[in-house]
Structure 1
């Protein structure tokens, strides 16, 4: 639990990291004991004989210092050789640089791993640095100094003794460190309690902080029983972990738990924004009371990856359908109600953005298996370029496949049933047009292709110059399946109307198709005469001149023309078309009851056609132009 407590305190931005040499071992830099060994081995054999070797680095360095006549040049030379060489890797410090939740790091290390990997860092080596340090950046206190100022490096016993004299302790540098240690919990990492210097530091901190200190943790892979007792007596929690594993596990914890905590008031806006930037994420935050709400996330560079993870409660039939759909057995979009959603988590670029249990509903829109602009080439040479398609594929079971093709204003639903011998597959195809087809071009493009496919032509799909699909096996369709040829011709006629009348059809409803109106309008454009079956008509005529004309010469056929006095207007898909005067013509009309009319037995004419045919024509003039 101590490890989880450390992670919690870091998420709250309430922990100071105290770092020793063990944090730099992975990068190829020496531990204190290894550095002591190097100092000893590089001495001449004569000097080695005058020394009692010890891994106690301050003591050994002190002895060498005096053997060298009170000169540190040899010690500094070895330090430069060991710590100015390039690191073998900076992986752990690169991770650590992404943790703005750690406001303060205190280190006894001489290397520059922190500076190499963190641009958002203020390095503080002396009191003067405190005054100019940017409070919004991470602060690194190098309490043993480093090779940028060799005169102030702390290495020998004398250095340590002089370092903790009263005047030093009351300096701005040390008072600033004390403030950080009082305000925050302390996590020691990279130290071994066999190092006398860390024992001195811990004792000094305990004395300085007294009863005001907060929690303290000591991270190490192993520890001797006696040293463990020491920690326990001092109230310091021991956590068995390497420094590398601490940082790696902290990285995982922050990625999973930090952002969700913002909505509960844990964390600051600055740390959240910087943590996001360090992980290639741009955040849009808003404040709500003492909490922060993440309104939007996006990638700073490249395309971001969004993931949603959740559990579904219950095992009813509806739940089974949802699970089947999520597993790719269906391609329909899914709406999940809050009743069945449990542990809803939203991830972006591998980082958990939020976690909720009070979601009202989640709508999951399926992503097509294939989408984009395609070139379609048919067997007869017809080509359609840059045609936008979205293709969804689902596999309900081993013997069945489903496909949904979204083509602008149309859906094609295909169900394929595979027999055991994989021959003679059964295809079930359904065409679902949109309620309103956006334009004539949209309909014409679709039915240009569909009419050819249903005419049993082969075709190919290309995308970005690559052959995506080559259809060779011919499905035998019924005559004019899906009314494809009929609708292809219909949209061709609409295109002709657009060109002739300078209009544009929009949102075309196929349920509003009127064959009669289309036929009349096309007859006007093409200046043709229409004919249809005529089974007779009855009417009264009180005009004596017309009555006499109709009844004279009883055995002779009449030519009858009926013209409307106003131009005809027909509405097609929301557009009114004025198409001239409407004329009806019967060239072989006769009066079936002419004798009854002559003898005044009736006043109602019964007219018929010898050929049972009546002709129609639309003209711009009030009189008929021609007739058959």
Structure 2
């Protein structure tokens, strides 16, 4: 039988574990032979001479009690000194405690290393009174030889073993152990088989169940052929390996199979969750078609999760494509399912269920490394610092570049030719504007580059001239953005507002509004000419006061409403009261009661007809009586 069979039995949660003294040797605790030597040296010379040669641990401990007049005080003190000390190491016990597939552990060790490693996750069974408290969801640690918490329970001398043989076989403690022997596979780890009475129980059960008995295994290093022969007579499979190597191999085996075991219902959901939690993993499991299905497996909290895909291919062409990708050429490789020889998915060393039959094709995409550079336009005295970018080789002399600065993202394909660089470039803006200084700096560098001005790239300690031979890009849109940012800066300075952090609504309406407002700020007005004339009509039934005596020619200024505020990129700009200056007027015409006036003109100074932002009246103090003026095109 192979080690695989033992691992499979453990995966089914159908194996009880027996732990012997050899498992605590690495922690600095003695085995049976070394403990016998310690007890022997505690005797004086005369006492030692009375013991037969090669005395066993049972004989030596019994002699010590006899020489001390039947007192176990010195014996108990020696056991305390030996086993109640700080261990040199506990990593094997800790590893064992993180394998939840063992629901019953039976140990003849006096130390408390196993239960200490399990902390509160296990129930220690020392006597019959502990048996009723065994819980299905907690491992049970049985201690048939007792421990230091109850000195009267320790089995070590010949008299102890004699009484051990004569224990009530109906005692719940021993009934529970016999039940484990009968119903589960048995694994002996670092065990020496000093307990002949335990073997008698095995014999009793074997006689009852015959060939229906469960399997038995022993893991220990360097057993002699005669000892192995004795194991075979007890129907025990021997594996020549140390406990630490066995647990390490078992742990890797469980990591490889536990996800599949859960989906195939070989292991319980509780055991699966407990095991992955010991590796700081969380999972999401759904029931699909009546069976558990792992939807995700990841590190706990916000820690990054390592995913690994291992695969093989069975054709030379695909292998060559992958080899080129690994050497820096190309961006991706597509592999059809027929060309995949094997496929596996690992998450932090755990194998997730995945087969080549479950996919139609497989894509490999190369991740690019992030670099940092600066870009300089010497002629314009422009510099962009700390530009981060990724460069991916596509083929010889062809590269894909993705990068950004100030939140602006750049994507470009570069083709290096003998006569220069041919570049296809586009960029996207950030969702929120950085400062206008940064916006203008970025757009001016882009504009200069498009126009073919000398461009220096400082990267990896080297300066390269990357002036393009040909640029494929919509230059008009870049110039529109450049003018827009320049208009916004004018508005910022005049109205003491800030557009940094505003939503980037790069719409025609915002472009037009910013342009008109910047023009008004720069020129003081916006002049509109109407060759066919324009007619203003005021007909609200209220007698005009300021317009009773209009000039027959020249110009007239009218304040047209209350304070106005316009919205640009979500930022409110307070403009003051709007006004209209009518130029080159013709002779006004009044109605009979002078409640209506008609003025004809071919030239006016306003913002526009729909958004009024004429602001100079507040600045000049020309605060006339407010009237509302409607604009309509005149056919005259």
TM-score norm. by structure 1 comes to 0.70
Match of 2:351 in 1: 352
Match of 1:206 in 2: 203
Instruction: Kindly indicate whether residue 480 of structure 2 is the aligned counterpart of residue 490 of structure 1.
Output: yes
Change (3 A) 1:203 1:446: farther
C-alpha contact (below 8 Å) 1:480/1:486 kept by paired residues? no
1:313-462, aligned counterparts within 5 Å?
313-315=313-315, 317=317, 320-325=320-325, 328-332=328-332, 336-357=335-356, 358-362=358-362, 366-370=366-370, 391-394=389-392, 403-405=401-403, 410-413=409-412, 429-433=423-427, 446-451=442-447, 455-456=453-454
1:570-581, aligned counterparts within 5 Å?
none
Change (3 A) 1:362 1:618: farther
Deviation, structure 1 residue 41: 1.4
Alignment partners' CA distance in 2, 1:452 and 1:560: 39
Match of 1:248 in 2: 248
Alignment partners' CA distance in 1, 2:216 and 2:64: 35
1:15-164, aligned counterparts within 5 Å?
15-54=15-54, 56-119=56-119, 120-164=121-165
Match of 2:191 in 1: 191
Alignment partners' CA distance in 2, 1:238 and 1:54: 27
Change (3 A) 1:480 1:183: same
Deviation, structure 1 residue 190: 0.9
Deviation, structure 1 residue 17: 0.6
Alignment partners' CA distance in 2, 1:130 and 1:375: 74
Change (3 A) 1:52 1:19: same
**Residues 43-91 of structure 1 deviation map (CA, whole Å, 9 limit, x = unaligned):** 1112111112435222322233223322222221221111111111111
Change (3 A) 1:338 1:485: same
Match of 2:175 in 1: 175
Change (3 A) 1:81 1:415: farther
Query: RMSD between aligned alpha carbons?
Result: 4.8
C-alpha contact (below 8 Å) 2:122/2:140 kept by paired residues? yes
C-alpha contact (below 8 Å) 2:124/2:142 kept by paired residues? yes
Of stretches 400-409 and 300-309 in structure 1, the one that deviates more from structure 2 is: 400-409
Change (3 A) 1:248 1:476: closer
Alignment partners' CA distance in 2, 1:179 and 1:376: 79
Change (3 A) 1:452 1:412: same
TM-score norm. by structure 2 comes to 0.70
Aligned residues: 532
C-alpha contact (below 8 Å) 2:12/2:266 kept by paired residues? yes
Change (3 A) 1:330 1:351: same
Deviation, structure 1 residue 401: 7.2
**Residues 137-177 of structure 1 deviation map (CA, whole Å, 9 limit, x = unaligned):** 1111111111011111011122122123251x211111122
Alignment partners' CA distance in 2, 1:56 and 1:289: 61
Alignment partners' CA distance in 1, 2:55 and 2:533: 121
Alignment partners' CA distance in 2, 1:377 and 1:161: 94
Deviation, structure 1 residue 96: 0.7
**Residues 428-460 of structure 1 deviation map (CA, whole Å, 9 limit, x = unaligned):** 5431346x9868879867534434667445577
Deviation, structure 1 residue 339: 3.9
Change (3 A) 1:361 1:378: same
1:202 is paired with a residue whose SS is helix
Deviation, structure 1 residue 478: 4.9
2:7 is paired with a residue whose SS is helix
Deviation, structure 1 residue 324: 3.6
Alignment partners' CA distance in 2, 1:153 and 1:426: 89
Match of 1:590 in 2: none
C-alpha contact (below 8 Å) 1:523/1:618 kept by paired residues? no
Match of 1:8 in 2: 8
Change (3 A) 1:447 1:84: same
C-alpha contact (below 8 Å) 1:26/1:89 kept by paired residues? yes
C-alpha contact (below 8 Å) 1:154/1:160 kept by paired residues? yes
C-alpha contact (below 8 Å) 1:412/1:429 kept by paired residues? no
Alignment partners' CA distance in 2, 1:351 and 1:325: 27
2:463 is paired with a residue whose SS is coil
Change (3 A) 1:284 1:440: closer
**Residues 391-434 of structure 1 deviation map (CA, whole Å, 9 limit, x = unaligned):** 3344679998764436766443465879xxxxx99755431346
C-alpha contact (below 8 Å) 1:416/1:427 kept by paired residues? yes
Of stretches 354-363 and 439-448 in structure 1, the one that deviates more from structure 2 is: 439-448
Deviation, structure 1 residue 181: 2.3
Alignment partners' CA distance in 2, 1:288 and 1:480: 56
Gaps of 5+ in 1: 419-423, 461-468, 531-558, 567-616
C-alpha contact (below 8 Å) 2:421/2:470 kept by paired residues? no
Match of 2:264 in 1: 264
Alignment partners' CA distance in 2, 1:439 and 1:302: 27
Change (3 A) 1:99 1:623: closer
C-alpha contact (below 8 Å) 1:106/1:140 kept by paired residues? yes
Deviation, structure 1 residue 214: 0.3
Deviation, structure 1 residue 382: 6.1
C-alpha contact (below 8 Å) 2:526/2:607 kept by paired residues? no
1:140 is paired with a residue whose SS is strand
Change (3 A) 1:200 1:376: farther
Change (3 A) 1:125 1:478: closer
2:47 is paired with a residue whose SS is helix
2:223 is paired with a residue whose SS is coil
Alignment partners' CA distance in 1, 2:481 and 2:131: 79
**Residues 280-315 of structure 1 deviation map (CA, whole Å, 9 limit, x = unaligned):** 111222334674322222222562332222324343
C-alpha contact (below 8 Å) 1:400/1:417 kept by paired residues? yes
Change (3 A) 1:105 1:375: farther
